[in-house]
């Protein structure tokens, strides 16, 4: 068989080629003018016209055009014929356009193009119905198609199988599409990445690009019949043609040739002919090639992803064989193939050139909140660091989180303290609340802190502070404004933003969030807060203390979902004295009614809809990640289904050398936790010497506080969490009124609960409700970070009397096994039984 094939191709090559080019302006912006060009050069609109000794044909996408020699011939004939035709095309269009090869237009966005909208619409409409042709696999691909004639079934089968086995190597060397929409991707051949999935609804049409091995021609005929059967089931008989088969090589029986589709269009005609020569010479060579489908698919994936890098030794061997069997004409083209194998495919060269003009850093940190901790420490160690953040400098905590919100909430605490003083016999009057003064004081502190931080960052010699939004455009590559930067070490600390649920009319009516409310110039008279979490409870406290009529609407049975049920109930009861609290309701619509905004909420138990009105709405229904802006997937960084960055126990992402911390992880969204995570990242990324020195992140004692009225604070596990994990626990419970200080304060609703593992005595967690809750919870944090994590340091210590510290001691002294008690949603949780 090999001898027969060698004889058939021993004569000078006579093949056909088809070349697809994008049509661009001088700045390489795609232009959807293929119909205009054809009409201009031919005087009529047609899908294919003869011009300048070649055929000029439309493509599916209107920003592309196909050039075809008028007849098959030798490589030099084809190159010269196409060159002269292309020159005449430039002249006929007054050099208004630039025609560009490559497997895909590297800059094109889908909204910038469209498909041919003249004849043959019946085909396109069916394709669109089945597969949606408005995607890159259709509207942005350009192939070099090589048509090689065959003589008889035996030669067809032999050539087909040989091309099948050569396909990974052809793809590796010809890859020319590393960019998609101007961004570097993990693949060198994106044309085939999109091409192999563009007809996913009927996968047999493409078969992963790689064709099946043929024993006889009838095998191929049966494959096509199977495709036709599936098309007919979809009412797509019009597509039952031999060209519908989309494998990397297909048989064109009507032309008596094999059509190779797996090769990317190159940068010039000479390169196209070089790949044609390489293929022809290899078909004559006596080769032993891989035939196993799984192996070939693996090699094909490697070729698409890395170009020549993973297949270079075998490509070098194939080149030597091609040089031995090539004709004199083909040998003139093979030096270009040798160059491609040595230096990499066109895609690899493009990527390397882009990397050469990139700014190289030892470390890139994205996010100027807790990420600044890592960047500053790295700069102190002498590393060249880039800190990238579009601002405001300092991240969420400084600008629209912890700092400004607590500066607003403290005056609210003072107001409530004055009002509560009557309970202990102190009758004080609140003459005035100066909202403008409260806001200006907050802005003054935040602005000064941000300005100082910004000045320090901008004046750092070892650190480049880049104040723009960054996004990944490839492996370890970021686009930051007009700069392209790269590093093998990165830290993602991009935080989170307000989650905006799909509530009818919400966008049209307008709303505040935790950022925009800080810019309020005057208080609304009434406010509806959508959400029942910590932001809702904190700002519900703030606005109600300042005299605003506040309504909180939450989805869950209690405010503060996930908190200890008893503690959450205490907060809800106390806050309800000042705020209308509506739980178990789903907001379904919002509408503007004059100066008011009307909110419709459905009771999740009985389905009844209730309406509420207020001047303003505060949206506090959760947080969402910023990964949709950063696009970490372009560098191989995995996210979960919601978009939160996935990390391992060392805070490293799925991409080696890229770490993540803070709110971007979607777990413990507290600045103090982010600061701790920053220390772990600093050690593991910058200091650890090998895996044995890596530090695991430890979340067993994460503290937090909700600065509402009353304050709720906690650390570690809740009672119900421990029960859900099947742990045998002891629960200690004490009220503030169980101590002399609590009695003196008249603090009837204050509560401390502690949870311990019964077998070991380890403290698992604590929850505190009432004044100084955060300070009391912090004492448990210290205990949980001792060697034995038990209560003995407290029980052995003298406790100042009378203080609220005694409430904590009392709780540890009242440990009992819990009992099962119901909560509002009908489920059961562990509750302490006294």
Omega of the bond prior to 539 within 30 degrees of 0, cis?
A: no
Q: Give the pLDDT confidence score for residue 826 in this predicted structure.
A: 35
* pLDDT single digits (tens) 134-189: 999 899 999 999 999 999 999 999 999 999 999 999 999 999 999 999 888 889 99
Mean pLDDT for 399-407 is 95
Residue 705 inside a domain? The answer is no
Instruction: Examine the domain organization and report whether 588 and 641 are in the same domain.
Output: no
Q: Give the pLDDT confidence score for residue 458 in this predicted structure.
A: 93
- CATH number for the domain spanning 209: value is 3.30.590.20
User: Which three-class secondary structure state does DSSP give residue 794?
Assistant: helix
Instruction: Examine the domain organization and report whether 768 and 754 are in the same domain.
Output: yes
Q: Which of 600, 621, 642 is the last residue of a domain?
A: 621
Structural domain count of the chain: 4
In whole angstroms, give the CA distance from residue 740 to residue 747. 11
Q: Which of 603, 621, 639 is the last residue of a domain?
A: 621
Locate tokens 């882009």: which residue? 354
Instruction: Examine the domain organization and report whether 646 and 732 are in the same domain.
Output: no
**9, pLDDT greater than 70:** no
**72, pLDDT greater than 60:** yes
* pLDDT single digits (tens) 702-733: 999 999 999 999 999 998 899 889 999 999 99
Q: Which of 635, 662, 693 is the last residue of a domain?
A: 693
Residue 599 inside a domain? The answer is yes
Instruction: Examine the domain organization and report whether 77 and 158 are in the same domain.
Output: yes
Residue 699 inside a domain? The answer is no
Q: Give the pLDDT confidence score for residue 84 in this predicted structure.
A: 96
Q: Give the pLDDT confidence score for residue 13 in this predicted structure.
A: 59
Confidence of residue 11 (pLDDT cuts 50, 70, 90): very low
Percent of the chain topping pLDDT 90? 91
The C-alpha angle with vertex 421 and arms to 416 and 427, in degrees rounded to 5, equals 115
Residue 359 inside a domain? The answer is no
In whole angstroms, give the CA distance from residue 687 to residue 463. 18
Confidence of residue 433 (pLDDT cuts 50, 70, 90): very high
**394, pLDDT greater than 80:** yes
* pLDDT single digits (tens) 591-649: 999 999 999 999 999 999 999 999 999 999 999 999 999 999 989 999 999 999 999 99
- CATH number for the domain spanning 781: value is 3.30.390.30
Instruction: Examine the domain organization and report whether 771 and 665 are in the same domain.
Output: no
Tell me the CA distances in angstroms from 275 to 161, 257, 260, one per residue in order. Answer: 18, 18, 11
Instruction: Examine the domain organization and report whether 297 and 398 are in the same domain.
Output: no
Confidence of residue 692 (pLDDT cuts 50, 70, 90): confident
Confidence of residue 690 (pLDDT cuts 50, 70, 90): confident
* pLDDT single digits (tens) 761-786: 999 999 999 999 999 999 999 999 99
Instruction: Examine the domain organization and report whether 87 and 180 are in the same domain.
Output: yes
Q: Give the pLDDT confidence score for residue 480 in this predicted structure.
A: 94
Question: Does residue 539 or residue 820 have the better pLDDT?
Answer: 539
Return mean pLDDT, the chain: 93
Instruction: Examine the domain organization and report whether 298 and 392 are in the same domain.
Output: no
Instruction: Examine the domain organization and report whether 443 and 458 are in the same domain.
Output: yes
Locate tokens 């193009």: which residue? 113
* pLDDT single digits (tens) 359-374: 999 999 999 999 999 9
Q: Give the pLDDT confidence score for residue 14 in this predicted structure.
A: 80
Instruction: Examine the domain organization and report whether 715 and 728 are in the same domain.
Output: yes
Instruction: Examine the domain organization and report whether 751 and 782 are in the same domain.
Output: yes
Which residues, in sequence order, are CB contacts of 456 under 8 Å at separation 6+?
none
Q: Give the pLDDT confidence score for residue 399 in this predicted structure.
A: 96
Residue 190 inside a domain? The answer is yes
**829, pLDDT greater than 80:** no
- CATH number for the domain spanning 461: value is 3.50.50.60
Tell me the CA distances in angstroms from 109 to 112, 162, 199, 648, one per residue in order. Answer: 5, 37, 20, 35
Residue 598 inside a domain? The answer is yes
Residues forming beta bridges with residue 733, ordered by sequence position = 753
**833, pLDDT greater than 80:** no
Residue 704 inside a domain? The answer is no
In whole angstroms, give the CA distance from residue 72 to residue 15. 5
- Say if residues 314 and 172 touch (Cβ distance below 8 Å): no
* Lowest mean pLDDT across 427-436, 459-468, 812-821: 812-821
Instruction: Examine the domain organization and report whether 445 and 542 are in the same domain.
Output: no
Residue 82 inside a domain? The answer is yes
Mean pLDDT for 91-107 is 95
Q: Residue 363: phi, psi to the nearest 5?
A: -150, 140
Q: Give the pLDDT confidence score for residue 822 in this predicted structure.
A: 39
Its domain, for residue 488, covers 364-497+625-693
């Amino acid at each position: 068989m090999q001898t027969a094939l060698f004889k058939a191709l021993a004569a000078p090559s006579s093949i056909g080629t088809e070349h697809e080019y994008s049509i661009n302006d001088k700045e390489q912006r795609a232009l959807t003018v293929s119909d205009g060009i054809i009409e201009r050069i031919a005087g009529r609109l047609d899908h294919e016209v003869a011009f300048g000794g070649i055929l000029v044909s439309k493509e599916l996408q209107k920003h592309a055009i196909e050039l075809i020699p008028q007849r098959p011939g030798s490589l030099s004939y084809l190159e010269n014929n196409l060159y002269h035709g292309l020159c005449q095309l430039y002249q006929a269009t007054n050099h208004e356009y630039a025609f560009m090869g490559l497997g895909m237009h590297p800059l094109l966005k889908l909204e910038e193009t469209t498909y041919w909208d003249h004849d043959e619409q019946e085909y396109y409409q069916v394709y669109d119905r089945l597969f949606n042709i408005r995607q890159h696999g259709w509207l942005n691909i350009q192939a070099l198609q090589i048509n090689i004639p065959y003589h008889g079934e035996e030669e067809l089968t032999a050539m087909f199988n040989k091309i099948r086995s050569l396909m990974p190597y052809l793809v590796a060397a010809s890859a020319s599409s590393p960019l998609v929409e101007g961004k570097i991707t993990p693949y060198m051949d994106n044309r085939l990445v999109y091409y192999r999935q563009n007809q996913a609804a009927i996968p047999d049409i493409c078969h992963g690009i790689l064709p099946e091995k043929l024993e006889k021609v009838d095998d191929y005929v049966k494959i096509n019949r199977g495709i036709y059967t599936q098309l007919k089931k979809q009412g797509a008989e019009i597509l039952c043609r031999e060209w519908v088969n989309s494998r990397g090589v297909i048989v064109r029986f009507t032309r008596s040739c094999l059509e190779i589709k797996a090769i990317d269009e190159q940068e010039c005609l000479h390169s196209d002919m070089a790949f044609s020569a390489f293929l022809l010479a290899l078909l004559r060579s006596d080769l032993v090639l891989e035939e196993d489908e799984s192996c070939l698919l693996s090699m094909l994936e490697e070729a698409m992803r890395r170009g020549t890098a993973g297949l270079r030794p075998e490509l070098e061997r194939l080149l030597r064989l091609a040089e031995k069997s090539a004709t004199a004409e083909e040998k003139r083209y093979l030096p270009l193939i040798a160059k491609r194998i040595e230096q990499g495919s066109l895609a690899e060269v493009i990527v390397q050139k882009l990397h050469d003009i990139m700014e190289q850093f030892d470390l890139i940190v994205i996010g100027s909140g807790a990420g600044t901790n890592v960047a500053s420490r790295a700069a102190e160690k002498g590393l060249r660091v880039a800190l990238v953040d579009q601002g405001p400098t300092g991240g969420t905590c400084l600008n629209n989180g912890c700092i400004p919100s607590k500066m607003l909430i403290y005056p609210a605490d003072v107001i409530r303290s004055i009002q509560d003083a009557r309970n202990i016999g102190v009758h004080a009057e609140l003459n005035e609340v100066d909202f403008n003064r409260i806001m200006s004081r907050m802005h003054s502190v935040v602005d000064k802190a941000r300005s100082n931080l910004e000045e320090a960052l901008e004046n750092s010699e070892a650190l480049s502070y880049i104040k723009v939004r960054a996004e990944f455009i490839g492996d370890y590559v970021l686009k930051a404004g007009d700069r392209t930067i790269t590093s093998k070490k990165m830290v993602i600390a991009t935080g989170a933003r307000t989650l905006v649920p799909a509530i009818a009319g919400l966008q049209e009516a307008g709303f505040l969030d935790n950022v925009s409310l800080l810019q309020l110039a005057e208080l609304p008279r009434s406010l509806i807060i959508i959400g029942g979490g910590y932001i809702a409870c904190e700002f519900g406290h703030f606005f109600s203390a300042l005299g605003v009529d506040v309504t909180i609407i939450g989805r869950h049975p209690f405010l503060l979902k996930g908190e200890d049920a008893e503690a959450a109930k205490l907060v809800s009861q106390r806050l309800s004295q000042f705020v209308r609290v509506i739980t178990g309701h789903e907001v379904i619509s919002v509408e503007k009614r004059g100066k008011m905004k009307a909110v419709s909420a459905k009771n999740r138990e009985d389905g009844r809809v209730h309406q509420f009105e207020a001047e303003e709405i505060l949206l506090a229904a959760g947080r969402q990640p910023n990964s949709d802006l950063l696009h970490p997937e372009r560098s191989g960084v995995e996210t979960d289904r919601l978009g939160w960055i996935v990390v391992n126990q060392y805070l490293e992402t799925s991409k080696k050398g890229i770490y993540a911390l803070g709110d971007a992880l979607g777990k413990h969204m507290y600045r103090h936790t982010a600061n701790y995570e920053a220390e772990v990242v600093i050690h593991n990324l910058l200091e650890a010497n090998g895996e044995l020195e890596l530090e695991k992140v430890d979340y067993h004692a994460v503290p937090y506080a909700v600065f509402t009225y009353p304050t709720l604070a906690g650390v570690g596990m809740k009672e119900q969490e421990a029960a859900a994990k099947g742990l045998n626990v002891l629960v200690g419970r004490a009220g503030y009124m169980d101590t002399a200080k609590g009695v003196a304060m008249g603090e009837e609703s204050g509560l401390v609960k502690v949870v311990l593992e019964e077998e070991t005595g380890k403290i698992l967690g604590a929850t505190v409700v009432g004044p100084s809750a955060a300070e009391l919870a912090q004492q448990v944090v210290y205990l949980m970070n001792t060697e034995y994590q038990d209560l003995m340091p407290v029980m052995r210590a003298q406790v100042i009397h009378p203080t609220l510290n005694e409430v904590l001691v009392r709780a540890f002294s009242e440990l009992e096994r819990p009992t099962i008690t119901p909560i509002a949603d009908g489920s059961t949780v562990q509750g302490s039984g006294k």
